Amino acid sequence: METIRFDYLKTFLTVARTRSFSTAAKELGTSQGTVSHHIAALEAYFDAELFKRTTNGVDVTEAGATLKETAERILQEAQEAKAKISSAKQNLSGTIKIAASTIPGEHVIPSLIAEFQKQHGNVKFKIKAEDSLNSLNSLQADNVDFAAVGTLQGYEEKFDCIKVGQDELVLIVPCNHILAKQESVKLNEITKYPFINREETSGTRKEIEHFFENNKFPLEQLKVGLELGSTESVITAVSEGRGISIISSIAANKAQAAGLVIILKIKEAKSPRKLYMVRPKRPLLKTSEAFWEFCKKYKFKNEAISCAAD
């Protein structure tokens, strides 16, 4: 190898951070063989071993530590140069990539993007549907420009974030459920019935766990019989009478308007949950910076429209 490629340096830094070839491959969206090839090419170029294997994964060698410092500076300066060049362009264009969890991805981002594109029609968007934690991991791995999530747990200091919406946790039950005639419930009432939960890495799941913890209520008392990977699948399961669940009020309002479920307030739920747009703590391209500024001013409206009968 006569020259150093930026993607090789990015691979090297990802392995150094994760201390694992397989984890780095997953974050980068490539194969472990490709990661090994990139590292081997760098070791051949520098004629030095960059990693040493340990019982806990891999650690950088002394040569690797030297390259890590330089690689971080090279990629940072290259990104800043790219941002400056982009800023010199007059018209906004290009593609913005966003990793989005279920609630912001399905109920906030579409209207936000539509409003932005009214002003900047040449800007395209690619939305990557993931749960909150995987969305934040994609942002950390530089696979996307932004992440739209319902929780920041564990990442509060790593990124910049702004609120783009809010909701609250509510209980949904089948239309013919014994609780359907009530307006609200207490947490101890929820534990009497089969419960449908989201997967562990879901932002809603994290907020439910945090909510129960704050109210000193043991999660083990929930009669969880089913875990599902999306809010829509939870709504479907509840509407079919397979249990009850706690979900975002944004999604719940639309489901109730469609006649699928009944919403009950949870008496202990007093604070709304924030929905965030998240970005790296570094300069972005002009188009991405413009989108970020737009997000700061955006006012989300949580409205559910019910089709009136003729």
Which residues, other chains included, contact 234 with Cβ-Cβ below 8 Å and sequence gap of 6+? 196, 198, 228, 245, 247
Residues 279-292 pLDDT 10s: 999 999 989 999 99
228 and 251 in one domain? yes
- On whether the pTM is more than 0.95, the answer is no
Banded pLDDT at 35 (limits 50, 70, 90):
very high
In a domain, residue 302? The reply is: no
Residue 71 domain boundaries = 6-87
In a domain, residue 248? The reply is: yes
128-143: string of b/e by CB count within 10 Å (b at 16+)?
Answer: eebbbbbbbbbbbbbe
Q: Are 222 and 139 in contact (CB under 8 A)?
A: no
Structure tokens given for 278: 């998240």
Query: Which residue's entry shows tokens 């043991």?
Result: 218
Structure tokens given for 129: 């549907």
Banded pLDDT at 278 (limits 50, 70, 90):
very high
Greater confidence, 71 or 274? 71
Q: Are 285 and 83 in contact (CB under 8 A)?
A: yes
Handedness of CA 111, 114, 119, 124 (dihedral sign): positive
69 and 11 in one domain? yes
257 and 225 in one domain? yes
The conformation of residue 298, written as its DSSP 8-state character, comes to -
Last residue of a domain, one of 29, 55, 87: 87
In a domain, residue 306? The reply is: no
